[in-house]
Amino acid sequence: MINLIIGKKGTGKTKRLVEHANQAAQNSNGNVVVIAKGTHLNYDISHDVRLINIDSYGIQGLDALSGFICGICAGNYDVTDIFVDSTMKIIGQDILVLASFAEKMNKLSSIADTKITLLVSAEESILPDSIRKIAKIV
């Protein structure tokens, strides 16, 4: 099961993501990764967390982000938590694309034994049932 931090712009999603990531870093026996667009989280995220600026790698779209996250898990078996900030900005604004991405991340989460949390700028009411079945809203 994946986790979602969801809400409209300005509702404190990024602050919650930072809190969850920093707490995961304190409790983890492995590595915690945060994927963000840009460098706006540099001073908020603990130095124990691997912060990745996705723009540095030219990642855009569902398949590119899925492959990137799969590569992180394949390259390091100690990753316990992955947080993705600005998910919709990276994969596109289509809610059906988000549903497909969520399904892929749910499968990866099980295979890699990694907790995956996606930050989504949208109202919870627009989430399709397919996402509700596989995601926990935190």
Percent with pLDDT over 70 in the chain = 100
Tell me the whole-structure pTM to 2 decimals: 0.95
Q: What mean pLDDT is predicted for residues 40-56? A: 95
Burial of 33 (0-12, 13-18, 19+ CB in 10 A): buried
**Mean local confidence (pLDDT), 88-115:** 96
Alpha helices in the chain (DSSP H): 13-27, 62-75, 87-91, 95-112, 129-134
List pLDDT tens digits, range 3-19: 999 999 889 999 999 99
Query: Each residue of 108-127: pLDDT tens digit?
Result: 999 999 999 999 999 999 99
What pLDDT score was predicted for residue 31? 97
Give the per-residue pLDDT at 19.
Answer: 97
**Considering only the top CATH level, what class is 2-137?**
alpha beta
Domain residue ranges of the chain, discontinuous segments joined by +: 2-137
